[in-house]
Amino acid sequence: MVVTAGGAGEPPGPEQPRVQVTPRAVLVVMLTALALLAGLYLLWELRNIVVWCVVAVFLAVALNPAVDWLDRRGLPRVVAIVLVYLALLLLVVGITALLLPPLISQGQALVTFVIDLVRDPPGGTPQAALQDLADSYGLGGYLNDYLDTLRDQIGSLPERLSAAVAPLVSVTRSIIGGVVSSISVLLLTFFLLLDGRRFVETGLLLVEPSRRPRIQRLLDRSAQAVSGYITGNLAISLIAGVATYIALVLLGVPYALTLALVVAFFDLIPLIGATLGALVVIVVGLFTSPLTAVILIAYFVVYQQVENHVLQPLVYSRSVHLHPIVVFLAAVAGAELLGILGALLAIPVAEILRILAAEWFAARTARTGERAPAAESVELHE
């Protein structure tokens, strides 16, 4: 007779043993929860150091190919790291020496242009325009009283300069903190480049031998994604800045170098950065001439399509495989958490999470495929 599962002929199974909660188990759970909360609180208090470590890891991964290349040429690893650091320093100093003088002069001219535009717009002074508008509606007296009050407040500004000492101290403290953070990140990056392999090998020793190849593969793919994204993002931003500079020079737009650097800087932010930089350039072009602004709008629309459909797939094809909506959400979330730095790091972090998820699904599918044939063989033997 065939007995079906749950049928009347099935003998009653053994009763499940009841789980007894002992005071010791409750104490262990409470201590574990307290330890977890204490660890989270400690991470929050040390969040600046955690951010330094994260940035150092990304920089180490980005610079590691150059260091390995020099290492394979027979140079000691310390010397290779120092040479890479010196190359970066020379690059920064060279770019600064080349661009800083015209950038300062054009920046000052741009600020002066904006101030003069506000003080003396093409249609006349703002005060005269407001006075004419108020007189037309019979409100000239109220406007004069308001302007007198405004003049009194402006006249008292020198007495309030002492109140600016506190913000000045805060800015100075922020600058010093930024210098300390930069030095700390560079030192952490140096040690990661020097002994990163040893750290990875030590960490792999804590894992079961059967899982070490998979974890090593995940680390290699993650490092490739981070390195490819950082170098690719810098290359695309450089292309955006150079192309914008050439377009502005051809159109005769003033402050071309400053505006091109603005576009290159904003282009580092995924998806929306180029649009933000383009808005600044278009506004300046509008004050040059309406036709120039229209040409700039057309240029940035065309360039954005070229960047999205040609440059990014060409540069990121081997490092980042994310849908545009995932890129956008990751960039917004990163910017919300850590500002511009978070927006820059969000894409490689999202790619690492995608790699981990893909590996987990692949391993789960492999385990399911192994179990299914085994179950079929049991049914056939029965």
In a domain? residue 185: yes
Can you tell me the mean pLDDT for 97-106?
69
Return the minimum-mean-pLDDT range out of 36-40, 353-357, 378-382. 378-382
Q: Quick one: pLDDT band at residue 381, thresholds 50, 70, 90?
A: very low
Q: Which residues contact 148 (CB under 8 A, 6 or more apart)?
A: none
Give yes or no for residue 288 having a pLDDT over 70. Answer: yes
Residues 110 and 236 in one domain: no
pLDDT of amino acid 1: 45
> Interior CA angle at 362 toward 319 and 317, to 5°?
15
In a domain? residue 71: yes
Residues 264 and 196 in one domain: no
Distance CA(36)–CA(29), nearest Å, equals 11
Can you tell me the mean pLDDT for 242-263?
87
**Residues 295-306 pLDDT 10s:** 999 999 998 888
Can you tell me the mean pLDDT for 146-172?
56
State the number of CA atoms in the 13 A half-sphere of 171 facing the CB: 5
Q: How many domains does the chain have?
A: 2
Residues 294 and 191 in one domain: no
Residues 239 and 110 in one domain: no
pLDDT of amino acid 370: 59
Residues 58 and 198 in one domain: yes
- 3-class SS at 323? coil
In a domain? residue 297: yes
In a domain? residue 35: no
Can you tell me the mean pLDDT for 88-95?
80
Residues 199 and 283 in one domain: no
Residues 252 and 350 in one domain: yes
Q: What is the pTM of this model?
A: 0.60
Q: For the chain, give the mean pLDDT.
A: 75
In a domain? residue 221: no
pLDDT of amino acid 61: 83
Residues 190 and 107 in one domain: yes
Q: Which of 246, 232, 223 is nearest to 310 (CA)?
A: 232
In a domain? residue 318: yes
Domain that holds residue 252: 228-364
In a domain? residue 33: no
- Contact present, 257 and 106 (Cβ < 8 Å): yes
Give yes or no for residue 11 having a pLDDT over 70. Answer: no
In a domain? residue 240: yes
Residues 186 and 71 in one domain: yes
pLDDT of amino acid 15: 58
Residues 243 and 96 in one domain: no
Give yes or no for residue 317 having a pLDDT over 50. Answer: yes
Residues 233 and 336 in one domain: yes
Residues 200 and 260 in one domain: no
DSSP state of 310: I
